[in-house]
Amino acid sequence: MHCIINGETIHLPSHVRTVAQLLRHFHIHEKIAIVEINMDIVPKEAYEKTTIADGDRIEIVHFVGGG
């Protein structure tokens, strides 16, 4: 499946089907993240059940500590 993630076309493995799996795939599942699919923000409590489809436009914003 191909999706546009943060402006870049990316091929996702077949096991990545939900927002939660996507965050785990990119190793940001333990960070605070905001996910938007096709211009709709996905509530955090819906990450496990919200599915991703071929061609979706996904924006992921996560916070990085530092100073």
Domain boundaries, the chain: 2-62
Is the pLDDT at 64 greater than 80, yes or no? no
For residue 52, what pLDDT is reported?
Answer: 97
- pTM > 0.85: yes
Identify the residue with better confidence: 32 or 37. Answer: 37
Instruction: Tell me the CATH architecture of domain 2-62.
Output: Roll (3.10)
Q: Is 35 exposed, middle or buried (0-12, 13-18, 19+ CB in 10 A)?
A: buried
Is the pLDDT at 3 greater than 80, yes or no? yes
For residue 62, what pLDDT is reported?
Answer: 81
For the chain, what is the mean pLDDT?
93
**Residue 52 tokens, joined:** 């991703």
Neighbours of 3 (CB within 10 A): 19
For residue 67, what pLDDT is reported?
Answer: 58
